[in-house]
Structure 1
Amino acid sequence: MGKLEKPSWSRQQIADRILKGETLVIYRNQLIRVPPNWLEEHPGGSIAILHFVGRDASDEIEAFHSDAALQRLLKHSIGDVQIGEEGWDPLLPPIAAGWVRKVTPAGSKWHREAERMHSNHESHFTSTSQVLLVKRGDLDTSGDPLIADITPPPTTLSLKVQAAHSKAYKALHQRITDAGLYQTRYISGYGPEIARYTFLFIVAVIAYRLGCFKVAALFHGFLWHQLVFTAHDLGHVGVTHNWVIDRILGITIANFMGGMSISWWTKNHNTHHLVTNHPTHDPDIEHLPFFANTPEFLKSIYSSYYGRTLPLDFLARAVIPLQHYLFYIILSLARFNLYRLSYVHLLSQFVSSKRRTCFPWHFWLEIVGLGVFYYWYTGVLRGIPDWSTRIAYVLITNIVPSPLHVQLVLSHYSRPTADLGPTESFAARQLRTTVDVVCPPSLAFLHGGLHLQVTHHLFPRIPRHNLMDASLMVKEFAREWDLEYAEFGFIRGNQDVRNVLREVADQARILGIVAEHHVQEAMKKS
């Protein structure tokens, strides 16, 4: 007997199945059904998949996965999709409308976490096609979503044009692959990196043994700063391109050497790559109470990543009006927040798991790595004779890597936070929300490849030492399709970011004055 022919799915049929709780994603005209166990165990995190339910995720899937992974993906196809001449008309993923599936004793059920909030004007910060989430006290969390909940707002974007962007992006991706830019340059690329790490390590050890503890801390911090770039590459499976090998190496650097969680970083960073600069969904711009790069954060919006409201609380109301002044001070201490986020992530994995006795091997390796980290790091501190120098050592080693955080902020904070809806192509969205930092080749190692963020966001698995060559092709692509390829110098980038922060700070200050006036009026009346 021949193989059973798989059905062809219409948009309405797909919507109906999604509303019944199925996780359906489109890849190369195939409808992929994501089983619950796969969703839970996806190496990039479940949220990365949930943001593309009901959407054509072909470009995103190919950008993040190897050919072998793509072949495994196709095994979950349940049929082809009826796509019109102008491309797929996307649905709004339930998570983007505030709906998630939760496991209860009675089975998996829909749960409404937040409700949609729409804008009625266009600006750098917002769009009429944008959907933000807010959680009000009277929100009914029961029931099931309706077709209206997963229908995107009207958009001014042309489906036909966005489909053309997608087709051209696929051709560009093939050009980059054919040019060999996915091949890692182990000797000429990572060879100098390893030599640099070795030099910094040796100097730190010599200074420590000579009793020059602050000098040792300085070079220790420089080493951490450089190692993070390779951990970043490994998290993207962009070094050996083998997930197991890159994950082991990533845990070695991030957990054993740096005291952080590579799995937290992977989940956080992949989400950032896929919903870049979206106030409700991108954790890399959700920095309340310390920073707000859009006035939308002044509305106490809901974060789908953190599963909670980002409140404009007392601390935020005090800090945000001054954020452009406190910018570098806060970023200098950012590494301490990464420790917190890492440990909260691992703890939540442990607490929420229904299979505590059968965690994947890499979870336990991360835990062992953190134990080893605190053993050697506290050992280093115990070898320092007095407490004041120990505290200085901790501060220096953690503050010296802070230029990394400045680099990350420069890449996106000054770019639009307006979301143009699920119709926008992957390529157009990344070019619109990301910027490069121009620097001479001799200083590129200080940026660790992150100065070429536009190309990295379009092709996250490309080894960083090949990003410069790939960026030339991306610039051609941008010119051909009249899309902006944004780039500026380091000083100009800092100025632009601080200008955005100042603009939001001014609005926060005005909001505070208005609120204070209302309080005074109420007190007078009482």
Structure 2
Amino acid sequence: MQFTRQELCTRILEGQHLIIYNRKVLRIPASWLDAHPGGSLVLLHFVGRDATAEVDAYHNDQILPLVNKYSIGFLAEPGPWNPLLPPIAAGWARKDGEWVNEAATWNDSNQVFLVAKDSLALQKTAPTIEALTPSPSQLSLQIQEQHSAAYKALHKRVIDAGLYRTPYLTGYGPEFFRYISLGLISAYAFRHNWLLTSAFALGLLWHQLMFFAHDLGHMGVTGSWTVDRLISIVIADFIGGLSIGWWVDNHNVHHLVTNHPSHDPDIQHLPFFAISPKFFSNLYSSYYRRILPLDCGARFFIPLQHKLFFVVMAFARFNLYRRSYDWMVSQISQKRRARGGRWAVALEFAGVFVFWCWFGGIVLRGCGSWQKALAYILVSHVTTSPLHVQIVLSHFGMSTEDLGPLESFPGRQLRTTMDVICPDQWAFIHGGLHLQVTHHLFPRLPRHNLSKASLMAKEFAKEEGLTYVEFGFISANQEVMGVLREVAGLVSSLGQQVKLVAEVASVEAKEAVDKKIAQQYAFSRMDNASQAI
């Protein structure tokens, strides 16, 4: 069947989830939307768009043939596909088979972001074709298509070079030696009552293991969803007390809509951080499905964010516990879950239970006093803070603009992501993810092969006229501090403006009250005078 643009629009407005892949029209049924291992949002963000590059980047050769079973036809119009705006990008969602308008759109220089609606009541109307029409773009469709074609050729070079083959011995061999050594040091120190040494070693172990969990979450180790998920649950939940399911759900969205204020949960950190003044507008998060308010807490922390950055990062692991457990509890009420989701979520609950049994029931109780237990918790958790700095370092200093659905996959990743320059011998401290640009271009690529792929990616960027951004560790932190300081200054000036307006309003109100009192006094004098007469 041949699909015209009008036919695609009509079907999407009827509630169908249509995605373009290699000029094929894929219809994603609601049952698979809920069960997709990568989460439903990563599909919803590509309704009406060409997702060829993204699909190829996120699925291996065993899974890609299964994609074609959702094909219901081909595009009727020749040439590159001019994308539609996904309903979710305009604030629309499906609930119980009906359209719900969850947020309003705010257009700032042709950039569309979601903001709180004027009314708290959700509008059960339906979007129109105008809602699916993107704002005029400053980008060229032909150039973006050229970038996509060049990326496809680059991806083939990476595949042909064998970079998707996991280097188990040379790559993970030293990693496992490091994991075991840190675990033994922590246990030995604890046995000899060297509690702070034990806590420090345990924190380093958690720090290093999370990079391994990251690889497994991307199916970048064995390539099997089941095997990688099993290992990652052991690493993240049983040993680390965190939910790998939550992390994958969150992280996949981050990769596909990187640095978008309304859609990327990895930059939505109010009340502690805001990396763009767009967060001052009661922004609506399509991931959390709620407003991100600039409330009293945000007005206190944001002006100080550049000063408190490393302090907040030091305690960020506690927030990961909260996010993990919120997500796990939310999965209990889910009618459908991802492939293997039921056993995976059940195993995660078991893993978290076991974690708190050994960490809380054995380690912390074994410290001897609550003061020593508290010190153990603080040292072990603060030691993991370089991981949290690493997570935000490659994005906080980059663009948060929305160039619309027309932007190519490689163009968006290069614009919103930076590398951190690091000598090879120290790469393990960053978990290999200092090469974040290449990781975003090839998320399934084993991290021990990223350095080879980055050379190809830099050639690609140069040939396509794109910028491959990289900074040293210190200069990268300075970039992030600069952004945080600039936004902090803006919210401070905003607060001063609000205070000034309040003061002016107070003066005007006082003058109005004084005037009214004077009038009433004058009327009273007139009444008294008339009575005397």
The alignment's TM-score, normalised by the length of structure 1, stands at 0.95
Q: Deviations over 1:379-435 (max 9, x none)?
A: 111111111110011111111011011111110011010010000000000000000
- The aligned residue for residue 363 of structure 2 is 380
- The aligned residue for residue 486 of structure 2 is 503
Give 1:525 shift: 2.4
- Structure 1 segment 332-343 matched on structure 2, within 5 A: 332-343=314-325
**Aligned equivalents of 1:227 and 1:292: distance in 2?**
29
**Aligned equivalents of 1:288 and 1:82: distance in 2?**
45
Higher helix share: 2
In terms of mean alpha carbon deviation, does 359-368 or 10-19 score higher? 359-368
Q: Does 1:29 align with 2:23?
A: yes
Select the residue among 334, 340, 344 that pairs with 1:362: 344
- The aligned residue for residue 91 of structure 1 is 84
- Structure 1 segment 192-341 matched on structure 2, within 5 A: 192-341=174-323
- Code of the residue aligned with 2:366 in structure 1: it is G
Select the residue among 91, 94, 99 that pairs with 1:110: 99
Give 1:517 shift: 1.1
Give 1:70 shift: 1.1
- Code of the residue aligned with 1:396 in structure 2: it is V
Which consecutive residues of structure 1, in runs of 5 or more, have no partner in the other structure?
A: 1-6, 121-127
**Aligned equivalents of 1:386 and 1:134: distance in 2?**
48
Q: Secondary structure at the match of 2:132?
A: coil
**Aligned equivalents of 1:140 and 1:447: distance in 2?**
44
- Structure 1 segment 64-143 matched on structure 2, within 5 A: 64-85=58-79, 87-103=80-96, 108-120=97-109, 128-137=110-119, 141-143=123-125
Contact 2:435 2:451 in 1 (8 A): yes
**Aligned equivalents of 2:120 and 2:129: distance in 1?**
22
RMSD across aligned positions (CA): 1.2
- Code of the residue aligned with 1:32 in structure 2: it is L
Cα distance 1:359–1:265, how it changes in 2: closer, same or farther (>3 A)?
closer
Q: Does 1:416 align with 2:410?
A: no
Structure whose CA Rg is larger: 2
Q: Does 1:18 align with 2:7?
A: no
Contact 1:303 1:310 in 2 (8 A): yes
Q: Secondary structure at the match of 1:371?
A: helix
**Aligned equivalents of 1:295 and 1:129: distance in 2?**
13
Which consecutive residues of structure 2, in runs of 5 or more, have no partner in the other structure?
A: 510-533
> Identical aligned pairs, as a percentage?
53
Q: Deviations over 1:85-109 (max 9, x none)?
A: 2x11000000000000112xxxx11
- Structure 1 segment 143-154 matched on structure 2, within 5 A: 143-154=125-136
- The aligned residue for residue 436 of structure 1 is 419
Cα distance 1:84–1:156, how it changes in 2: closer, same or farther (>3 A)?
farther
Contact 2:33 2:40 in 1 (8 A): yes
Q: Deviations over 1:327-385 (max 9, x none)?
A: 10011111110110011111111134379xx9621111111111111111111111111
**Aligned equivalents of 1:403 and 1:212: distance in 2?**
23
Cα distance 1:67–1:395, how it changes in 2: closer, same or farther (>3 A)?
same
Contact 1:29 1:83 in 2 (8 A): no
Contact 1:218 1:397 in 2 (8 A): yes
Cα distance 1:354–1:69, how it changes in 2: closer, same or farther (>3 A)?
closer
**Aligned equivalents of 2:160 and 2:171: distance in 1?**
19
**Aligned equivalents of 1:12 and 1:381: distance in 2?**
63
- Code of the residue aligned with 1:25 in structure 2: it is I
**Aligned equivalents of 1:343 and 1:98: distance in 2?**
27
Cα distance 1:114–1:140, how it changes in 2: closer, same or farther (>3 A)?
same
